[in-house]
Structure 1
Amino acid sequence: MRFKAVILLFLIFCSAPRSYAEARPFFGPDNSVSVTDRNFLPLRNILSGKDGVMLPVSLEEVSPWLILSVLAAEDKRFFEHGGVDLKASARALWQNINAGKVVSGASTITQQLANAINPKERTFKGKLKEAYAAAALERELSKEEILEAYFNTVNFGGNIYGVQAAALVYFDTDASSLSLSQAAFLAGLIKSPTQYNPLKNLKAGVKRRDEVLRRMLENGFINKELYALALEEDIKISPQNKKFTAPHYGLFVAGKAPAGAALIQSTIDGKIQSYIEEILPGYVEALKKNNVTNAAAAVLDNKTGEVLAFAGSADYFDERSSGQVNGALSLRQPGSALKPFVYGTAFEEGFLPSDKVEDEDKFFKGSFRPKNYDEEYHGAPSMRRALACSYNIPAVQVAGELGAYKVLETLKKAGFSSLEKNADFYGLGLALGNGEVTLLELANAYRALANGGVWRPMVYALNPQVKQAGRAQRFFSEETAFMLTDILSDNNARAAAFGLNSPLNMPFDFASKTGTSKDYKDNWAVGYSRRFTVAVWVGNFDASPMRRISGITGAAPILRDIAVFLDGNYSSEKFETDSSFDMPASLAHADICPVSGKLASKNCAGSVREVFPADKLPKEHCALPLKEHQEDAGAVLGAAEGIIFPADGDVFVSSPSLAAEAQQIKFKASEEGFWFIDGQNLPCPRSRECFWPIKSGKHRLKFEGRKTYQVSFEVLN
């Protein structure tokens, strides 16, 4: 018996088959594209060709047990016939004549392959055509080539084609690693993938496996000892709800692959992707009470444009929440997340962050009457404060002065190709995000801000043949991009609306913005450091509204977690010396009075550090009396005075898993001064910020500016 099995395997492997590419034209379904992460680790996506799932393998990559199992189950005389098994055909013909219909096909492996290439009707005439096609295949291909093509096209249930796909789906292993019992089980499926479907009728599938093993024993392919061991092995089908890494991205990038591509090395960083896929379900679960059922996120490398992470939903396999919908590519209203591009357009026209803008009840063209999120009016805030606090009325006011056409033109240059309607369709509501865009578009537009106002296409794969769409174009000057970055990273400026300790207050430089669409159907948070851009969407795919939620409470905490993870795990790479944003030499800072907008003087209750073009620095000092400052100081400065971060009573936790250089706290103040920790002077020059390497225990932080401020905080191990 052993001798006969050895002879069979020798016949299979003794002659070198022609290349897979040469054999491929003889079979039908398109090869699926295998997608890996940037380090060639499989993303575990099994991608569909036009006829189903197929991951091609060579004959040498198929387990010998599977070859023998299939020969025993389907065509034991495969190496003896010329495409048609005359003995089996005669037997089948007699059975069919007696039954008056086709009840037995006796199709050989070659006939099955011929039918897969060009399906025939299940009639006597169809069987004759199949036999003729099989004979033609035998003339064109060697036995080994026929087997290889067969193993890559045979159906194993549903849209699963080929042994590699079947091995991965059912047993979570490669076709080369199948055990004898597993191989016999898969071979048994070929007869009737529906009847023996292990997901619906495992018992029937196991019974069919036992029959295949018996045939192997009878034909001398295995001995009694192997037969007994295989019968005793439990068939354990892999859970079908397991989470494959980056399932949405695998499908997305495969669609961009050139014809015939079998492998795509994507740009996905497996470590970042896994972290995001781990945290999204927990956040969605916590937000269920707010009628939130899903979330999506993306991470881009600012310099290269590579998509490092891409989660289209919180759980791809959650059918109740439409998990297979790709939230990263779905069109949604971004709300206030578009406001930076409105103000940036104004800066391009000569406006400055210190300029005042009206915030009062007002009707705009078309009886448009926007309301602020807090349903209050704020007088005449600076553009810095209006953008940082995301006031709606000032944004519409600025858009009105520019014109909706000019705003739309900027947005299109920033990569929002989804905004296909004309400016009249959107109107001034465009400033509040009434047009629909994708999360990926939004992420790349903010990446352009991080790159000094230059939009560049994203990179989806590291294969040179996977082309990227679009050409680089500048839509903002370097100065405008930095002014926006400076505002979006100014925790002091947004404190009046979001508080000092909102999720957007990072312990490192990070520019960010939130957005909530009309009727609370979509919730966004997007931001960037020097190296990464992160975008998050939270909401429902069925467009049902969320309850009591905004960008700062929905998407922002997720954004913060991802940003902190990136800083802690990648901060030592590329930007080792400085993580702060680089201000162009053509800009300069000045401390101005938040009430008058002029250079701060001794009567000013506080000052705001503002950025100006170097040739437009204010020259006059504020001359308003002290009383006017006292009346307006609270409204202008809010709580952002003295030590901004940390707050009194804050508790920090050190992490042994983070890089040492990430274990720091960035102290922030509302003005320049000197820093002391536990009575010791910190080695920082007179400044608003100071980094402190954390130490466990309770600490007292003192800051000396115009006044002395103190807070206490604790660091836990």
Structure 2
Amino acid sequence: MTLLGRRRSKLVLFSSLVLAAGALVYAYLIHQRAQLIAPAPTPILYDRSGAFLAQIGHADGAGGRIDYGYWPLEQLPDRVVKATLALEDRRFYDHIGVDPYAIGRAAWQNFGAVKRRSGASTIAMQVARMQQPESRTFVHKMLEAGTGVLLTLRYGRDATLAQYLRLAPYGNGSHGIAHAARLYFDKPVADLSWAEIALLSAIPQSPTRMNPLRPEGLRRAVQRGHHILDALAKQKIIQADEAEIAHRQLDDMRMPALPRRPDALHLILRYHDLIENGEIAPASAVAPLIHTTIDLGLQADVTALARDYLDGWRSAGAQQVGVMVVSRQTGEVLAQVGSSNYYGRHAGAFDYTRTQRSPGSTLKPFIYALGFERGVLKPTDMLLDLPEGASGIGDADREFLGPMLPRQALANSRNVPATNLLRSIGLETTFRFLRDLGLHDLETPADYFGLSMAIGSLPTRLDRLMRAYGALANDGQLQDLRWAREQPQPQPVRVISLDTARLITSFLSDPQARLPSFHRYGTLEYPFPVAIKTGTSQGYRDAWAVAYSEKVIVGVWIGRGDDGTMSRMTGAGTAARLVHAVIDRVHGNKPGDIADARFPTPPDRKPMEVCVVNGQTNDNSCSQTLVEWLKPDEMPKAAALSLRSDASLNPLPISATAGRSQSYSLASTDASDPKIHLAISTPARNSQIWRNPEQPAALDRLPLKADVHPHVPQIVWYVDGQPFAVTDPDRPVFWPIQSGEHRFQIRLPYRDETSAMVPVYVQ
């Protein structure tokens, strides 16, 4: 072989190897692309009456356009298939993904004498391009052709056509004929008329130019739709009379305005999260419609009320608001306002129905309920509202009210009785109970929060409060909040006895029991039965109110996104006003309306007139009484009831009047006794002290109590290493509370005996 022949042989071999390598690469690339892939179907949300709420679309990955649709087809709609194939791929069932005739025609028109542009893309090739969009170069056209062939061979023609009808763009972010039918005409694809099919089939060629929501785009789409109808008639797919009717309908086509998302972005984002987390799923993947529990009319009204009321409180420092309205019987969420304005100033993008905040006194009803459940509290027990024995926790007003019935103590929202009751139940027991109610999911030790758990140190969220108050409102049955008809609903769980739930409800709905802290006919009183509890956190950072009536449970939070303080913004003075307005809206209540009704009473209890001074039944000698619901074994005896105040609720040998001004006797013990025991009984070691935000500074004091035996005439109290007071050991000393960490100790004058150091943390 000559040298030239050898060179030619090598060139042929090299060329063959290059072609083989290219073929392998080509085969690999089309193998990777030849899969039917589509985004998940995008649900459309409706309110409880069928009004459009929103659709949960797919972001393009760059934070820009949101696309919708991609609904699968349960079966290929016959008329849509015929119209699509007549327009896009007449020989779809005759080729294997590439149409040689169309390629030849396109080449002749594009490069021949006619010079008219024409495409040769088949349905399968368009599917390949829609799944992996790229610039329209020759190389990419070759990849689309190979992918189209392999898709057809791998999945079959019907599956490929169904994928096209799922991915095809129909303008305004909509993809797929099924979604477009619902978006533009609000009907299933099977119910589309020939005129509607012709119009929709025209759009994928150029969704922007043929946008049917614009006059010029609609004109172009209608014009192309007429050509489609002519092609269908020419191919004998529709009869002449059908075509004539469709042409007339197409000429008269007027597109309805697209439904607009309401002003409820936080609510829609919550639904997005519920869907993403799998808590709500459409009943049908073919038509992913979700029927929410939301009442859009109520949602709009509650949003307007929240903004109006908040505007009136901005001068006092309020910046944000959160509101929820839930059906009492079903737990269905009827309305939710996450903030005053998602796009507004002051951290409006936060959803304050899902933000952890200090709940103030809104947890107190559950502490009282647990006290009744554990048997450490009865309705006739007298609870002391006194400055001593509460670890520095004060009450919401400028005075202490002395002995009180539990009904009064809870209705007046007194802090000292609640903290003493919490101490008697136990921190860990209460902490677990509140977790069982869903009010928190913390693993922090209960001691971290201490007794201040009763007045707001344990953070929670508005939606969790709504769920927990639902247990009180529904006879002790705890059920999840329901957001959609398609949401699985587990059976309610009993967390409180019916007896206790109804007893607490009677406390919270008794306007007479709220005296003197809350005056009659104010924001807490209604012309029909309503149980309500308010709360205010430290520094007026949070104002709360949660109430339930026969129909609904309503919760409101007022505060600031930066956790800053407000100016004397209390739950009763602000949040309760908004709650009142919302409940009036739900009930359609008008001024002067009065309903002769009440909440169901505990079935095994009888009404009894009880004296508020000592808890005894009224023998016509008591001027202040309340009606209490008692069991037979709780009926007061003739003897006076003992008062309860300490951690174990043991009887104290003092009368009701003595509880307000107790005197302390001085024993006489020789101070030279070498065996003198010195200990601090109050405050407890490592206590965390919280001050009630509404208490004036003059009353913001921590009682200091000593345990000294045998008795000595005097002891010296030291605070942070400095002498603070000299006093009789039997008398308490009151230290003005200061924030920070402090250390307390007692010593004997002129002697070396000292007590152990007691650290205390003040917040």
**1:55-94 alignment runs, 5 A limit:** 56=71, 58=73, 68=83, 72=87, 82-86=96-100
The worse-fitting range, judged by mean Cα deviation, of 137-146 and 421-430 is 137-146
Match of 1:336 in 2: 361
Match of 1:110 in 2: 124
The worse-fitting range, judged by mean Cα deviation, of 138-147 and 225-234 is 225-234
CA offset at residue 281 of structure 1?
1.8
**1:197-216 alignment runs, 5 A limit:** 207=216, 209-216=218-225
Match of 2:272 in 1: 251
- Counterpart pick for 2:385 among 340, 359, 375: 359
Letter in 2 for 1:110: A
SS in 2 for 1:590: strand
Q: Deviations over 1:54-92 (max 9, x none)?
A: 2737599989799858975x6677677643355665688
Does the 8 A contact of 1:298 with 1:439 survive in 2? no
Match of 2:163 in 1: 149
**1:176-195 alignment runs, 5 A limit:** 190=204
The worse-fitting range, judged by mean Cα deviation, of 206-215 and 173-182 is 173-182
Q: Deviations over 1:228-286 (max 9, x none)?
A: 9968977775364545897456435533145985368878556x553243233233223
CA offset at residue 621 of structure 1?
7.3
When Rg is computed on C-alpha atoms for both structures, the one with the higher figure is: 2
Q: Deviations over 1:648-675 (max 9, x none)?
A: xxxxxxxxxxxxxxxxxxxxxxxxxxxx
CA offset at residue 491 of structure 1?
1.0
Letter in 2 for 1:56: W
Equivalent-residue separation in structure 2 for 1:179 and 1:540 (angstroms): 54
- Counterpart pick for 1:600 among 618, 621, 644: 618
CA offset at residue 488 of structure 1?
0.7
Equivalent-residue separation in structure 2 for 1:152 and 1:266 (angstroms): 20
- Counterpart pick for 2:332 among 303, 307, 324: 307
Equivalent-residue separation in structure 2 for 1:308 and 1:597 (angstroms): 41
SS in 2 for 1:487: helix
- Counterpart pick for 1:297 among 318, 324, 327: 324
SS in 1 for 2:385: coil
- Counterpart pick for 1:47 among 43, 51, 56: 56
SS in 1 for 2:514: helix
What do you get for the CA RMSD once the two structures are aligned?
A: 5.1
CA offset at residue 430 of structure 1?
1.9
Does the 8 A contact of 2:419 with 2:452 survive in 1? yes
CA offset at residue 322 of structure 1?
7.3
Equivalent-residue separation in structure 1 for 2:636 and 2:428 (angstroms): 32
Letter in 2 for 1:299: V
Does the 8 A contact of 1:247 with 1:316 survive in 2? no
Match of 2:453 in 1: 430
- Counterpart pick for 2:436 among 396, 413, 438: 413
Does the 8 A contact of 2:43 with 2:282 survive in 1? no
CA offset at residue 129 of structure 1?
3.1
Change (3 A) 1:279 1:108: same
Match of 2:502 in 1: 482
- Counterpart pick for 1:502 among 517, 522, 528: 522
Q: Aligned residues: percent identity?
A: 26
Letter in 2 for 1:84: V
Q: Deviations over 1:78-132 (max 9, x none)?
A: 677643355665688899999xxxx998644332323445667866444333222
CA offset at residue 297 of structure 1?
0.9
- Counterpart pick for 1:612 among 619, 630, 633: 630
Equivalent-residue separation in structure 1 for 2:346 and 2:123 (angstroms): 43
CA offset at residue 607 of structure 1?
1.3
Match of 2:297 in 1: 274
Change (3 A) 1:322 1:174: farther
Equivalent-residue separation in structure 2 for 1:610 and 1:426 (angstroms): 33
Does the 8 A contact of 1:31 with 1:260 survive in 2? no
Does the 8 A contact of 2:339 with 2:349 survive in 1? no
CA offset at residue 527 of structure 1?
2.8
Equivalent-residue separation in structure 1 for 2:204 and 2:457 (angstroms): 53
Equivalent-residue separation in structure 2 for 1:322 and 1:94 (angstroms): 63
Equivalent-residue separation in structure 2 for 1:97 and 1:370 (angstroms): 91
Q: Deviations over 1:281-329 (max 9, x none)?
A: 2332232132344432131444xx4425242437887666877755444
Equivalent-residue separation in structure 2 for 1:475 and 1:183 (angstroms): 56
Does the 8 A contact of 1:61 with 1:175 survive in 2? no
The worse-fitting range, judged by mean Cα deviation, of 210-219 and 588-597 is 210-219
Q: Deviations over 1:121-172 (max 9, x none)?
A: 8664443332223224444667665444323323456864334545666777
CA offset at residue 331 of structure 1?
3.3
The worse-fitting range, judged by mean Cα deviation, of 113-122 and 427-436 is 113-122
Task: State yes or no: 1:32 paired with 2:52.
Answer: no
Change (3 A) 1:146 1:487: same
Match of 1:22 in 2: none
Does the 8 A contact of 2:376 with 2:424 survive in 1? no
SS in 1 for 2:500: helix
Match of 1:238 in 2: 258
Does the 8 A contact of 2:178 with 2:189 survive in 1? yes
Q: Deviations over 1:162-183 (max 9, x none)?
A: 3454566677777678899987
Letter in 1 for 2:272: L
SS in 2 for 1:357: strand
Change (3 A) 1:288 1:482: same
Change (3 A) 1:307 1:231: same
Change (3 A) 1:76 1:61: closer
Equivalent-residue separation in structure 2 for 1:156 and 1:336 (angstroms): 54
> What is the number of residues matched between the two proteins?
578
SS in 1 for 2:361: helix
Gaps of 5+ in 1: 1-24, 570-575, 634-717
Does the 8 A contact of 2:412 with 2:516 survive in 1? yes
Change (3 A) 1:36 1:78: same
The worse-fitting range, judged by mean Cα deviation, of 541-550 and 419-428 is 541-550
**TM-score, with length taken from structure 1:** 0.65
Letter in 1 for 2:167: T
SS in 2 for 1:351: coil
Equivalent-residue separation in structure 1 for 2:95 and 2:509 (angstroms): 75
Equivalent-residue separation in structure 2 for 1:472 and 1:562 (angstroms): 26
Q: Deviations over 1:21-79 (max 9, x none)?
A: xxxx944211234555667x36543234698532737599989799858975x667767
Does the 8 A contact of 1:588 with 1:613 survive in 2? yes
Does the 8 A contact of 2:368 with 2:421 survive in 1? yes
Does the 8 A contact of 1:181 with 1:230 survive in 2? yes
Match of 1:131 in 2: 145
**1:516-555 alignment runs, 5 A limit:** 516-529=536-549, 532-539=552-559, 549-555=569-575
Equivalent-residue separation in structure 2 for 1:281 and 1:421 (angstroms): 39
Equivalent-residue separation in structure 2 for 1:426 and 1:265 (angstroms): 45
Equivalent-residue separation in structure 2 for 1:232 and 1:147 (angstroms): 30
CA offset at residue 565 of structure 1?
5.7
**TM-score, with length taken from structure 2:** 0.62
CA offset at residue 333 of structure 1?
3.1
Letter in 1 for 2:434: L
